[in-house]
Amino acid sequence: MSSRGAEKRRPVPRFASFKPKPDTPAEVEPEPKSGRRSEGEPLGKDTIPRRPHRQHESRRERASARDGDRRHRHERRSPDRGDRSREGSGEPRRDEVKGAAPGSSNNVYFFDKRGDPLILRYGSNDRAKVPSYHRFGAGRLMGAHGILTIHHDRSRPEFTIRGRHRDVGSIFRDKKALSALVTTASGRPDKHLGPSQPTTIQPIALDDDFIPLDTSRKRKRGEVEPSSLPDYRNIYRKSSDDTSGFESETSLTDEEVDMEMSTAKKRSIQLSRQVKAQPEDIDSWVQLVELQDALFRENQATPANPTAEEAKGLAELRVSLYEEALPHASQPQDRERLLLGLMREGTRAWDPKNLARRWEEVNKKHSDSFMLWRERLNGTANGTSEDPKMLITERLELLRRKLQSLTLRDGEDQQADELCSQLIYVFLRLTRFLVESGYTELAVAAWQAELEMTFCRPDRLFEAEEDAAVSSFSDFWESEAPRMGEEGAKGWRHFEDLGGVTDPPDPKPQMPSEPPITRDKFKAWAAVELQKAAESHAPARTFDEGTEDDPFRVVMFSDIREHLVWFPTKALNRVGPELLDAFLLFCGLPTARLSSGLIDDARNDPFVAGRSETFEFDLSGASLDAPEGSKKWPQFRHQGGNLVISQEVLFSGAAWFRYLDNWHCLGQPDFQISWVLGTLKQLVKGCGQKMLAEYYLAASLADTPDSARKVAKGLLKQYSSNLRLYSAYALVENANGNLEIAEKVLSAATSQEFPAPIAAQILFNAWTWIYLEANQKQTALNRLCLSVDRNLGTSPPTPSALLKARAHFSSTRDYALSSKDLETAVQHAESLALLDYLTVEASAEATSETQGNITAALATIEHFSADLAYRGLATSPHHERLLQTISHLLYHHSTHGPYRSSYIRDQLLRFIHLFPQNTLFLSLFAAFQPTIRIDDPVRATLQSHSLRPPHDSLSTRRFAIAHEARTGTAHSTRAAFDDALDDIACRGNADMWIRYVRFCFSRKELRGMAKGVFYRALGACPMAKVVYMEAYRTLVRDMGSAELRGVFEAMVSKGVRVHVDLEGWLERWERETEGQG
């Protein structure tokens, strides 16, 4: 055994300072005074006292004896490991230092300039040859503030990065924390100050001096594999002979990458390779930039929002990626896309001076880019010194000149449509800016004039030149005849028909002022200021009382001439829907969804979107109006949310979502409700804009439900062939509790002959829903089948009638879908789903007599959704509206018998994945969550879908904050506010800042933060008067006199309109108070 073992035994590694022990005993030589240090020992001039010679010799002899015994036992067990025990000794042997040159120093160490090439193979120094030592400062590196330290990690000294607390230990043990620190701008992992590890099993080379052995111990949970640690191999001396077979961790195989890396990391590596191979691929560059947020969130040790430093660092990282991609953008649209992202991230990464300079450079090269102009305008609220009104007026004038030039050249319709959309958006931004600054009369007058010039244009001026038409309109305006939305208004066309002669309206008396009921002088001033502002909601006439003290009350035509746009006559049909939607946005209402593109996207524009009193109701913590014994009730007041408009939500009752809130719930609107309703009425009935008829009826229902019947009858008299108005009228009566009248309306409507009978399906669907909600299933089924067989009467449908109805609904749906008639296809898909719900017997879910077969109905919708997806229409508004209807059916099913909440949640989650912005789906998904649960699926869904670009929007942020207010804590709600207002989707929205200030003030644990949030709001919305007024309404008791005066001075310096001078009013208040005392 021993001889065979001696033959197989391999030689041990030979170091420069190592000599093997001779076979025959050698004469002991005297100990040198100094010797070479062992490989792996620390460099330096540290000296240690030399032990006495006898003590050293005695201990060495005992160690030699022990080594001999161990060697003898070891050789019997494994002849291949004969001399391993000598390498494990912690004491230096005499033969290792025998050849050392004597010196005068007493140090036992010296500099080994040759090094140990085996370090790269074994991964570290030979620990057996490094004496015990400790570093001053517990291993911290100078200048690293306790973050970079040297400590023993997995039995070897490594550079590492510790967590924020000392007891956390090395964050390299945490894969997520490690990845957060090692991700670079290019998506490749950074290096780690540690030795490399072999990643693949190498074949054993017989001529090597050692056999590499992998550890056989089982890795503990949470421990990072050595191969997952990046390395800095370039800080070590590389030996070409011994290290060529060992590769760094960046050479992982595809299988190892799939096993070790997350989806985001793998995607990052793929995109990095893609942009390196094809740098002109702008989509990959943008995806790589957007992926950085996911990488940061994924690699956080704890789920928390990034700090200010981390957010700035991420912004700088994205800026560098955008700048790297810009030289490769050859197309103008690609360059605009990259510049938009660059300047958006620059607001975080650059100081205001540098940001303004960069905007000047971009504007010189891309002055025609509308999207870059809008981003620059949005950035004026982030500390730049530019005047937003000047930017808006300059762009408005530029676009008007372009439109005039295009009209004279008879340019392309597509280019003209684009210019008109941009002009409407700029006009909307200008008027909303005027309202926020306090000049409401000027903004209202501009809209009155624009609507008159567009929809009430006299026939003789249709082909007239712009100057002649504007001159004629100037005469109408200066005559002070009743204007758009005012009582008795008949419009510009009627004025021209009468030859320009009309009687001026009677002077209006001044509203009596009410004395403020408060003893606080600043609060009293705020009450008087708000009262004066309420009187200025509409422009006054010359002879009205109280106009002599305020010159802004009377608006002359010269005041608004530069703000108006004259659209060519041939463009009116295309401009009309967009202008109507823009007007609704100006009034703070959700759009009628008459248009698409730029104006439709403005619904979630933070500088344009209106207030949401529902949002404040959610934050107040008030209990919802839920029936007794109900489960967690959804929030049906939904104005300010994001859902597709339909009759189902326009004319719903108290048990479903409402598109428009009741007018009395709007708090203090910016405009008079009578003027808004009057304008809608004149547009629909006086100007023939029937596309707005349903919206006008819904607004009347929200204002005064009892008056909606009169409005509906008037609309039906004028538009008797409009089928949708009949179903709308029936739904209005049903919402008011008049089921019999609704039955009569629909019965009369369906008995008529229509040019397109298929279009009448909306009547039968509405009829079916009315009786389904009334718990009359058989009557509902009868009304549904009447659409196929008018002779059915009131008797229950026969099996043949049911088969005929199912075949008709299915065939009509499929034919309409193939013909791309989505409206008809969706109506008949809804009919088929209702038929299956009411008739199919076998159900996979538990049902009662008052319920139907929900699984059959959902199966029908899933089949139709698959057909839409196959045709690329999965995200169309028609599909979203159909899913809203099916959500209504799911909710109805859950309120009329047994149900599985998990089944309903699964269906709603599928809808959310298709439409992450739809707050109706989100609200229902939150309502069907169990009360007691450790995790929060709603929060997880928001973070993974709804709050991620491009779905992140003002409406989804409002929902996320309201959800935290209802289910979370005050601090989680505060975090949701911070996260939203730090995002570009909400940063410029004054309403959300005000809600944040009030929320902090209303919570005891957050009240100390309210003032700080207020000053942040002033920085984000420097021209919003409502934000300034919060200091005198909500925070008046927490702010001193000097601070309140400073807020007033800042408001005046920004050009915000003030009706009552603060200092003068305070002096009068003090005099009156002293006189009363």
Could you say which of 686, 716, 736 is where a domain stops?
736
Among the listed ranges 127-131, 784-788, 872-876, 911-915, which one has the minimum average pLDDT value? 127-131
Tokens 């002109």 correspond to 280
Question: DSSP state, 409?
Answer: T
Structure tokens given for 873: 């229409």
- Domain of 1044? 523-536+969-1077
Nearest to 947 by CA among 914, 908, 983: 983
Q: Helix, strand or coil for residue 951? A: coil
What share of the chain in percent tops pLDDT 70? 72
Residues 982 and 1029 placed together within one structural domain of the fold: yes
Residues 552 and 450 placed together within one structural domain of the fold: yes
Nearest to 7 by CA among 109, 82, 65: 82
Query: Between 176 and 811, whose confidence is greater?
Result: 811
Judge whether 679 and 482 are in contact, CB under 8 Å.
no
pLDDT at 109: 60
Question: DSSP state, 719?
Answer: S
pLDDT at 563: 94
Residue 934 pLDDT exceeds 60: yes
Query: What number of residues does the chain have?
Result: 1077
Confidence of residue 384 (pLDDT cuts 50, 70, 90): low
Confidence of residue 1074 (pLDDT cuts 50, 70, 90): confident
Residue 215 pLDDT exceeds 70: no
Asked whether residue 20 is assigned to any structural domain, the reply reads yes
Could you say which of 553, 588, 609 is where a domain stops?
609
What share of the chain in percent tops pLDDT 90? 50
Residues 434 and 563 placed together within one structural domain of the fold: yes
Residues 391 and 530 placed together within one structural domain of the fold: no
pLDDT at 535: 86
Q: Helix, strand or coil for residue 241? A: coil
Cα distance between residue 894 and residue 896, in whole Å: 6
Environment class of 110 (CB within 10 Å of its CB; exposed 0-12, middle 13-18, buried 19+) = middle
Residue 153 pLDDT exceeds 60: no
* Maximum average pLDDT range among 27-41, 79-93, 308-322, 735-749: 735-749
Confidence of residue 301 (pLDDT cuts 50, 70, 90): low
pLDDT at 759: 84
Nearest to 326 by CA among 336, 316, 317: 336
- Chain centroid, CA 559 distance in Å: 39
Q: Helix, strand or coil for residue 183? A: strand
Judge whether 922 and 647 are in contact, CB under 8 Å.
no
Q: What's the average model confidence in pLDDT over 900-917? A: 95
Judge whether 128 and 137 are in contact, CB under 8 Å.
no
Asked whether residue 731 is assigned to any structural domain, the reply reads yes
Query: Between 295 and 298, whose confidence is greater?
Result: 295
Confidence of residue 596 (pLDDT cuts 50, 70, 90): confident
Confidence of residue 381 (pLDDT cuts 50, 70, 90): low
Q: What residues contact residue 613 under an 8 Å CB cut-off, 6+ apart?
A: 639, 640, 661, 665, 666, 667
Cα distance between residue 722 and residue 693, in whole Å: 10
Residues 650 and 566 placed together within one structural domain of the fold: no
Per-residue pLDDT tens over the stretch 642-660? 899 999 999 998 889 999 8
Cα distance between residue 719 and residue 320, in whole Å: 59
Cα distance between residue 1016 and residue 993, in whole Å: 9
Environment class of 634 (CB within 10 Å of its CB; exposed 0-12, middle 13-18, buried 19+) = buried
Judge whether 897 and 848 are in contact, CB under 8 Å.
yes
Per-residue pLDDT tens over the stretch 973-1011? 999 999 999 888 899 999 999 999 999 999 999 999 999
Residues 558 and 428 placed together within one structural domain of the fold: yes
> 342: how many CB neighbours lie within 10 A of its CB?
22
Nearest to 864 by CA among 902, 909, 815, 813: 813
Cis bond before residue 950 (omega within 30° of 0): yes
Confidence of residue 13 (pLDDT cuts 50, 70, 90): low
Q: What's the average model confidence in pLDDT over 115-139? A: 68
Nearest to 558 by CA among 453, 474, 476, 441: 474
Asked whether residue 796 is assigned to any structural domain, the reply reads no
Per-residue burial over 189-202, b = 16 or more CB atoms within 10 Å of its CB, e = otherwise:
bebbebbbebbeee
Average pLDDT in the chain = 79
Residue 787 pLDDT exceeds 60: yes
Residues 667 and 707 placed together within one structural domain of the fold: yes
pLDDT at 241: 41
Among the listed ranges 125-134, 231-240, 499-508, 542-551, which one has the minimum average pLDDT value? 231-240
Q: What's the average model confidence in pLDDT over 682-686? A: 95
Residues 396 and 474 placed together within one structural domain of the fold: yes
Residues 549 and 440 placed together within one structural domain of the fold: yes
Q: What residues contact residue 144 under an 8 Å CB cut-off, 6+ apart?
A: none
Query: Between 95 and 432, whose confidence is greater?
Result: 432
Residues 466 and 580 placed together within one structural domain of the fold: yes
Residue 572 pLDDT exceeds 70: yes
Cα distance between residue 967 and residue 934, in whole Å: 12
Question: DSSP state, 581?
Answer: H
Asked whether residue 458 is assigned to any structural domain, the reply reads yes
Residues forming a β-bridge with 149:
140, 160
Among the listed ranges 37-41, 531-535, 853-857, which one has the minimum average pLDDT value? 37-41
Asked whether residue 33 is assigned to any structural domain, the reply reads yes
Judge whether 162 and 170 are in contact, CB under 8 Å.
yes
Asked whether residue 1053 is assigned to any structural domain, the reply reads yes
Nearest to 185 by CA among 77, 27, 318, 293: 318
Residue 18 pLDDT exceeds 60: no
Q: What's the average model confidence in pLDDT over 812-823? A: 95
Asked whether residue 486 is assigned to any structural domain, the reply reads yes
Q: What's the average model confidence in pLDDT over 258-283? A: 85
- Chain centroid, CA 746 distance in Å: 43
Query: H or E segment at 1022?
Result: none
Judge whether 770 and 750 are in contact, CB under 8 Å.
no
Residues 529 and 549 placed together within one structural domain of the fold: no
Judge whether 918 and 934 are in contact, CB under 8 Å.
no
Q: What's the average model confidence in pLDDT over 140-156? A: 59
Per-residue pLDDT tens over the stretch 605-618? 999 987 776 666 66
Residues 461 and 552 placed together within one structural domain of the fold: yes
Query: Between 214 and 537, whose confidence is greater?
Result: 537
pLDDT at 174: 46
Residue 250 pLDDT exceeds 50: no
Confidence of residue 135 (pLDDT cuts 50, 70, 90): low
Q: What's the average model confidence in pLDDT over 1052-1061? A: 93
Asked whether residue 848 is assigned to any structural domain, the reply reads no
Structure tokens given for 509: 């008396």
Residues forming a β-bridge with 658:
637
Could you say which of 116, 146, 174 is where a domain stops?
116
Among the listed ranges 325-334, 784-793, 890-899, which one has the minimum average pLDDT value? 784-793
568-571 contacts: CB < 8 A, separation 24 or more?
568/403, 568/407, 568/416, 569/457, 569/462, 569/463, 571/416, 571/417, 571/420
Nearest to 694 by CA among 649, 739, 661, 647: 647
Per-residue pLDDT tens over the stretch 880-908? 999 999 999 999 999 999 999 999 999 99
Cα distance between residue 617 and residue 638, in whole Å: 11
Per-residue pLDDT tens over the stretch 835-848? 999 999 888 888 88
Cα distance between residue 467 and residue 488, in whole Å: 28
Residue 117 pLDDT exceeds 80: no
Per-residue pLDDT tens over the stretch 685-714? 999 999 999 999 999 999 899 889 999 999
Taking the complete model, does pTM exceed 0.85, yes or no?
A: no
For the chain, how far is it from start to end, CA to CA, in angstroms?
117
Q: What residues contact residue 1051 under an 8 Å CB cut-off, 6+ apart?
A: 1025, 1028, 1058
Structural domain count, the chain: 4
Cα distance between residue 632 and residue 895, in whole Å: 12
Q: What residues contact residue 295 under an 8 Å CB cut-off, 6+ apart?
A: 179, 180, 183, 264, 265, 268
